[in-house]
Structure 1
Amino acid sequence: MTALGSVWATGQTSPRGQLRQGPYISATVHDADRVPPAVARLAIDHLTAAGDTVLDPGCGAGTVIVEALRAGRNAIGITDDRRWWSVARANITATRRRTDAHTDALLLDGTPRRAAGQLTGMTGTVDLLLAGLRPTPALAPADALRRTLAHCLPLLRPGAHAAVVLRTTHDGPNFTDPIDDAARAGQDAGLLLVDHCIALAGQLRGDRLIPPPARQFRSPSTGSLGAEFHDVLIFRVPDRPLASAATRRLPRVRSTKPPSRTATTLREIACAA
């Protein structure tokens, strides 16, 4: 497993070009809070190994799930939005038709709290939680993230990682930067913040950053412009309970994994769901 580095060249292909490579169905573009496929793929490649399990507790249109399958990982997606459930299911089906990967995908309809209850048979087996920061009607995004991480933490094995992709936005004069709140949410859930990376949304040519065309960079649903990068916070599940809050900020550490045993478990849960 090689080091990720602090800056990710994840914008070499345009946002729409990444969706075409999936292939993703056309409705995927309307999920403005999706994790960009290139960002998901890089995180999955570097933070997991073949046969590992990736969880997205707010999967939306399913980009994390698709990229996990394409990388030879098992995948679990959760969403309580029926519109995105249908889109994610269609994307998973299209991916399975195109790839020969012998991995499993499980898509659950419901909240992370409800889904975590359905996944008790997988306690301590998930290798990576990878999710975007999604707005909710009842809670601020950071509060929703805090609850989601708390519900999903029992599913993660000791030493596993959780990566949260933050979409900084520009809406006229307003600038939204949720990084501090998201970092606190992860630490409040009991995770160790080990890295903060920048995933570029524009193309890197030498030392110049070329932003994608505005028509591909503007949210179809809100009309607001995204920033030229995404912040990615990488947390790690402690090997044992933390002694105190003072130990929660540590340098990056190398991950070690027990032998994967999740493929059979996923199939069993899928049959029972």
Structure 2
Amino acid sequence: MLNFLTFLLSIPILGGGIWLSTRANNTDCLRFLQWPLIVIGVAIMVVSLAGFAGACYRNTFLMYLYLWVMFFIIVLLIGFVIFAYVVTDKGSGRPVPNRAYEDYYLPDYSGWLKDRVVSSNYWRDISSCIHDSGVCRKSDRVVGGFPESADMYYRRKLSPIESGCCKPPTECGFTYVNETTWNPTGLVVNNRDCIRWSNDQEQLCYNCNSCKAGVLASLRKSWRKVSVINIVVLIILVIAYVVACAAFRNNRRMDNDEPYGETRMEKARPNWLRTLRF
């Protein structure tokens, strides 16, 4: 039952990795981050089956191997949870007056994840992925045969990537035409994204710092959701591991024909003490 429980616990970990993989293909577009979680989930699944076989056939070697490998998996999972929280520690959207959505700014983020996203090699692939996913095209809405009004658009809850990549920053002061078409008003703002914005549907704000910040914000949300599940699974795994250690010690006693419980206490008590007692 214990090994079957750990086998079941591998499913949400593996599912979290697959969910991140789906997000990477469709939204977040950073594809290598989900693999550690998938590997850990598969490893727990395989090791649990080995432990299950060891418990059923009382194979001490398999149980010993199970304990050691599970120990390293727990350490790796702890490291992954810590890593996920450290690299997503900073950054969030900024509220915009009279808007339901938030704007995203790259200086609000820092650290290893930001360095990966903004690097030219990674961003070339990420921006192409965002373009190919059609996230901006899918944000278009038609009401009564016409694009929705500016007031309706301002009341929408945009995703970080929709806000950062599909429209110019609000402080640019552009005039709304539709979800992906905005006309400049000549307002001078110290934000280079205002210059980078293009109404060309192939460009939009894919090269803007706000788009990079939107990707980071989306990654942060995804990783935090998965990390909560991982922490719960980790606590249960640690409890299961402690019980497995006790079961392994008990199994070794049985293999060595060592007495335990009351029998062991009686064997440990000298005969003359038993004589005096009676």
Higher helix share: 2
Q: Give 1 or 2 for the bigger CA radius of gyration.
A: 2
Q: Same fold (TM over 0.5)?
A: no
Q: TM-score, normalised by structure 2?
A: 0.21
